[in-house]
Amino acid sequence: MTEIPRDTLQEQTFYEQVGGEETFRRLVHRFYQGVAGDPLLRPMYPEEDLGPAEERFTLFLMQYWGGPRTYGEQRGHPRLRMRHVPFRVDRAAHDAWLSHMRVALDELGLAPEHERQLWDYLTYAAASMVNTEG
């Protein structure tokens, strides 16, 4: 009897399709390289080291796209808007965030359909975090 590969029995998650943990770690690491030098965004990260924020964001994206549920196990429900309330997120911050994310996403070299799907989500998420006019 011939064994049927797992992938043919079950559709892969987006997380698996784009390369899993390595892809999300590369995306978020490159994004935070941009944030580290950004005078508008860097003050929104009160920790001296951006490492903990980078890890939280990586785990969140991995879980959101069908990867391990580590984020939820460690932090519970994402409550993204609530977690961002202490920070002034205006249109300029939104634009800066997306600018760094665009660079990071472009460097991944994903297939066009995956790039588009991820970018659509990221632009939606960025818009939903805006909490201040200006």
Residue ranges covered by each domain of the chain: 18-129
Closest to 54 in 3D by CA, of 73, 79, 27, 75: 27
The reported pLDDT for the residue numbered 80 is 57
Q: State mean pLDDT over 28-57.
A: 93
The reported pLDDT for the residue numbered 79 is 56
Burial (0-12, 13-18, 19+ Cβ within 10 Å), 32: buried
The reported pLDDT for the residue numbered 74 is 77
Q: What percent of the chain has pLDDT over 90?
A: 67
Q: State how far the alpha carbon of 108 is from the alpha carbons of 10, 84, 94, 102, 122, in Å.
A: 26, 27, 21, 10, 15
Domain range 18-129, CATH architecture:
Orthogonal Bundle (1.10)
- What three-state secondary structure class fits 96? helix
Beta strands in the chain (DSSP E): none
